[in-house]
A and B are shown apart, each in its own frame.
Chain A
């Protein structure tokens, strides 16, 4: 039932995009893109994945001989995130102050064909909500209960830095390559700890610092096979899951004891 609902909502999203895009891109540069995989299945041997995004740029203003600059942003589902700060208390380091941000992108990758600063001004990037500074700005706006804005900024910086350390936030300058004049390809990596859910990949075209075209495509990451069975059982039927885990352990213990006895 939940699956059916998800399929319907994805269908609705796709339909919405189909309707919306031609309007947005009416007098702009045309760009079309797709991913090599629309669905990533997290199975028992999942150790992260590489996803290839390819697309083409057609027509538009400017010199057709020099292709526009490209920024691709891949953004994972929003999730609550707790951030704690350690303080020294009685000789040991303990989590003291803490806050919870209600909606933090679980994954955020920005891939560009050259340094972002050479593509567009920070003002333009902020306006189109591109980049980590934009993520931080959103988080600072959503954060409440901080004594000072400086403190809020410390927490937000730490959240983005630590997600980066887990490879969930990535910046890959020069990760886009043109194949000829119109075709481009970009690669981004999903680490093994990547959150599950619906992802959006936005392609932004810039020429001389101005945005001239966009395109959006989507990606779903879901557990499949035995991993999916275990995960959904653990969260939807936790009592049955717990009892089964115990029964499996008892069977393993009895099996070991029987094997040992034969010797």
Chain B
């Protein structure tokens, strides 16, 4: 059964879309990640124009991050003040990012930049996760508990101005680093169609040294607003948000996430991370391969400037 996507202007199989939403939802429920970095490449592989894939995926992430952050909010796991600082940066970063996408579209380079961003981020994050999970696995084999060397370290962050008190995180730090993290994540949201949790969560833990209990909730809180903003900006600047595609992905995603979360509870942390790392690296290799191998067709066509009418 085919469904016509009004903005992508092509028809895709309904079960393929629901299936992709379901599989990525399953994985994101299992691993506790947003899934944007898996879904956007999948959409591109299935023939959706990259600019439409990115904007539509931002719209889907709004739905998944809303349901995630409601759960975190109920458990009081959101540092609203920190979230707002991250959000302020996120809005600036995403506004710049959407504008960048618009310019790159006109130059015919948007596909390349999206692919390169994916190769870079999936490669780095996947490798780091793989190394970390293998190391944890080896250590637990050797019988040592992983060392907890987190508190009491002074670093360059404490020398920065604009210090603020973040009660929920029990931190008194400069607002500059979270603001910069927010800008960076906003850029990624606009260019890659991801929530950016995979950058924000490590940055909060290792850079800002926030307590792990509030990290996921605060990051989801920021993602809700940044991806909403990105969706509206892409809709107005690029007309690339396909509401029909987004809705179908949401349906698949919600169902998949329920099952994924149940399976995820049965697996051990480092096993989960190793699996996710392998998945991320596989995705990265596929995109890199497509960039490196000589294409059989050296020409490409696109409906010019701004798409549309």
Contacts and interface: CB of A to CB of B under 8 A. Distances in A.
A256 B254 CA distance: 7
A95 B109 contact: yes
Chain B interface, DSSP helix/strand/loop, else mixed: helix
B70 A100 contact: no
A246 to B, nearest CB: 5
Interface residues of A, number: 57
B300 A95 contact: yes
Given A85-B298, A88-B294, A162-B297, A249 B109 contact: no
Contacts of B11: 46-48, 192-193
A92 B292 contact: yes
A234 B7 contact: yes
Contacts of B181: none
Nearest to A223: B6
Nearest to B47: A193
Contacts of B247: 248, 252
Interface stretch (B85-93, B192-200, B209-217, B230-238): B230-238
A249 B235 contact: no
A249 B60 contact: yes
B128 interface: no
Contacts of B231: 242, 245-246, 249
B217 to A, nearest CB: 14
Contacts of B64: 253
Interface residues of B, number: 60
Interface string A220-252: 000100011011001100110111111011101
Contacts of B1: 45
Given A88-B294, A242-B234, A253-B62, A230 B2 contact: no
B243 A245 contact: yes
Contact of A94 (B2, B10, B109, B254): B109
Interface in B287-309: 291-295, 297-305, 308-309
A254 B233 contact: no
A92 B302 CA distance: 20
Interface stretch (A65-73, A74-82, A121-129, A132-140): A74-82
Nearest to A193: B10
Interface in B263-309: 291-295, 297-305, 308-309
Closest 7 CB pairs of A and B: A253-B66, A242-B235, A158-B299, A242-B232, A249-B62, A47-B2, A80-B304
19 contacts: A47-B2, A84-B108, A84-B302, A85-B298, A86-B298, A86-B300, A158-B299, A161-B299, A223-B6, A228-B6, A234-B243, A239-B236, A242-B232, A242-B233, A246-B228, A248-B243, A249-B63, A249-B250, A250-B228
